[in-house]
């Protein structure tokens, strides 16, 4: 099969399409025939060597949408032919989801949304699980105020929708041209990028990774949730600082799929690019202003 990998760190030109044996699922795993796979900033970080792994072949890709092709021993509830989505967690792995087949733990898999195509479905797992976990870690009661930075981005946009659904009053921080969009997601207030909210908020969900600057928007005793482990601001003024890390979670992913199918969660795809053009996708990933998830397709 074809797979996108890196064997040396650097820019988009380091991405290679190679031919490798089709993997087989072990006990407790499933093999998915990949239809589409999201291209996320973490893929660029893997390619650049942020997570290490020098001297080895590293597979790219965390998100996947496709069809179960084979199930391993002991797997129940899944059969060949089912359309699914999943998160293939882990930055250092020999093969990811940017391939024609991917093997994952069955516990990471959920039935795919019935109301969107494979490209849109592939935009859900990593971003949706990240946003859902971050909103949960806020731990704020309904009616509390929360500022979402990077609210027009893929993770930030999903976080706005999930925070509103949790009963929080959302202020969205994004580019000036994004105001109409983030308000359509349910944001009650809008702050242009580079500005500050009119008053301190109970919590910040820092999807844009503003760090110390975002911490300054939080009231004394509030909460800051960052999306980059071990790289956030230090606690001060009694603020609870939480640096979350996403994890594969098929049950939570199934809940998010249900919201998509109910029309309560909107997914955005910027562009669908063939797997053979993975270098182009990585180059696009580095361009500013992209709105929506870039997706690789195998068709």
Same domain, 17 and 81: yes
Average pLDDT, whole number, for the chain?
Answer: 95
> Where does residue 243 rank: exposed (0-12), middle (13-18), buried (19+ CB within 10 A)?
middle
The predicted-structure confidence for 1-45, as pLDDT tens digits, reads as follows 999 999 999 999 999 999 999 999 999 999 999 999 999 999 999
Q: What pLDDT score was predicted for residue 6? A: 97
Rounded to 5 degrees, what are φ and ψ at 70? -160, 145
Same domain, 11 and 103: yes
- Calculate mean pLDDT across residues 219-228: 93
Domain of 277 in residue numbering reads as: 2-123+267-297
Same domain, 226 and 274: no
* Residue 250 located in a structural domain: no
* Residue 99 located in a structural domain: yes
* Residue 262 located in a structural domain: no
Same domain, 144 and 39: no
Render the burial of 38-74: b for 16+ CB within 10 Å, e for the rest: bbbebbbebbeeeeebeeeebbbbbbbbbbbbbbbee
Same domain, 8 and 74: yes
* Residue 254 located in a structural domain: no
Share of the chain above pLDDT 70, in %: 99
* Residue 249 located in a structural domain: no
CA angle 90, 91, 92 (to 5 degrees): 95
Provide the β-strand partners of residue 50. none
* Residue 146 located in a structural domain: yes
Same domain, 113 and 200: no
Same domain, 155 and 119: no
Q: What pLDDT score was predicted for residue 244? A: 86
CATH of the domain at 201: 3.40.50.720
Please state, in angstroms and as integers, the Cα–Cα distance from residue 187 to each residue in 78, 180, 181, 226, following that order: 38, 10, 9, 19
The predicted-structure confidence for 226-246, as pLDDT tens digits, reads as follows 987 656 788 889 999 998 889
Of 23, 32, 8, 15, whose CA–CA distance to 95 is shortest?
Answer: 23
The predicted-structure confidence for 79-110, as pLDDT tens digits, reads as follows 999 999 999 999 999 999 999 999 999 999 99
Same domain, 26 and 81: yes
Overall domain count for the chain: 2
Same domain, 12 and 119: yes
Of 103, 118, 110, whose CA–CA distance to 70 is shortest?
Answer: 103
CATH of the domain at 28: 3.90.180.10
Q: What pLDDT score was predicted for residue 231? A: 61
Same domain, 89 and 38: yes
* Residue 142 located in a structural domain: yes
């Amino acid at each position: 099969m074809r797979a996108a990998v890196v064997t040396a760190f650097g820019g988009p030109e380091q991405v290679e399409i190679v031919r490798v044996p089709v993997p087989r699922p072990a006990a407790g795993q499933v093999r998915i025939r990949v239809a589409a796979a999201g291209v996320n900033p973490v893929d660029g970080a893997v390619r650049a060597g942020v997570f290490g792994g020098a001297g080895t072949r590293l597979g790219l890709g965390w998100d996947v949408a496709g069809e179960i092709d084979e199930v391993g021993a002991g797997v129940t509830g899944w059969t060949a032919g089912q359309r699914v989505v999943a998160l293939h967690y882990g930055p250092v792995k020999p093969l990811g989801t940017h391939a024609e087949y991917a093997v994952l733990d069955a516990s990471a898999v959920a039935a795919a949304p019935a109301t969107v195509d494979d490209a849109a479905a592939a935009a859900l797992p990593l971003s949706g699980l990240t946003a859902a976990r971050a909103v949960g870690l806020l731990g704020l009661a309904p009616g509390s105020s929360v500022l979402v930075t990077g609210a027009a981005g893929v993770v930030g946009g999903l976080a706005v929708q999930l925070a509103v659904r949790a009963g929080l009053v959302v202020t969205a921080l994004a580019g000036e041209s994004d105001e109409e969009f983030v308000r359509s997601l349910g944001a009650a207030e809008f702050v242009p990028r580079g500005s500050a909210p009119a008053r301190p908020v109970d919590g910040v969900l820092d999807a844009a990774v503003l760090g110390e600057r975002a911490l300054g928007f939080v009231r004394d005793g509030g909460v800051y949730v960052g999306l980059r482990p071990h790289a956030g601001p230090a606690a001060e003024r009694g603020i609870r600082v939480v640096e979350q890390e996403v994890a594969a979670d098929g049950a939570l992913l199934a809940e998010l799929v249900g919201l998509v199918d109910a029309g309560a969660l909107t997914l955005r795809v910027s562009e669908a690019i063939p797997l053979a053009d993975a270098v182009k996708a990585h180059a696009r990933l580095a361009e500013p202003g992209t709105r929506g998830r870039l997706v690789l397709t195998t068709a």
